[in-house]
Structure 1
Amino acid sequence: MTDAEHIDDPDANESLTDRIRSHVKGNRTGMIQDLAFAVAWVTLVSLLYDFAFSASPRWVLYMFMLAGIPAYFGFFISLEMAKAQR
């Protein structure tokens, strides 16, 4: 979904730390976007469940959390479409 640089295949001599470092370096922006979306979604859902739906059963919270998956893809796909139309 994000614009990641091409990552080379791991070498036999490359350590786990080096592979993680190169992965994070190539996907830094996408990882930050993913983390920001996850934190915002969980915060929003938690606030909704605690205040607006406080009398609801626990499975409502889980359904709201699961709704974050299509919301994530829908948000980033629509963002890419908007960038392409510019």
Structure 2
Amino acid sequence: MGFREALEHHVSEHRSGMLVDLVFACSWVTMVTVLFGLLDGPQWAYYLCMLAGVVAYYGFFASVAIARDNETIS
């Protein structure tokens, strides 16, 4: 299997998850950029908020997974 076929297989297998990841990332970056554009906050806080997006991403999707598990148990 060549690189192109492997890439096509990966994208077709993970298409919806990749789209959700992209939407979350674009939303987070836009929100932080607009917020810091309006508030004119320090550069280090801007980068800290961008890094917090990684934590927010994993926290959000972990809570969704837990909620789905609890829903199937009930």
Give the TM-score, by structure 2 length.
0.89
Q: 2:69 corresponds to which residue?
A: 84
Which residues of structure 1 form unaligned runs of 5+? 1-13
Alignment of 1:60-75 (within 5 A): 60-75=45-60
Q: 1:24 corresponds to which residue?
A: 11
4+ residue runs over 6 A deviation:
none
Could you report, residue by residue, the CA deviation over 1:11-58 in whole angstroms, capped at 9, with x for unpaired residues? xxx11110000011111111111101001100110111111x21x221
Q: Larger Rg: 1 or 2?
A: 1
Aligned residue identity for 1:48? L
Aligned pairs, number: 71
Identity fraction in percent: 39
Which residues of structure 2 form unaligned runs of 5+? none
Match of 1:36 among 23, 28, 35: 23
Match of 1:49 among 29, 36, 45: 36
Separation in structure 2 between the aligned mates of residue 77 and residue 29 of structure 1, nearest angstrom: 17
Separation in structure 2 between the aligned mates of residue 36 and residue 15 of structure 1, nearest angstrom: 29
| Structure with the higher helix share, 1 or 2 | 2
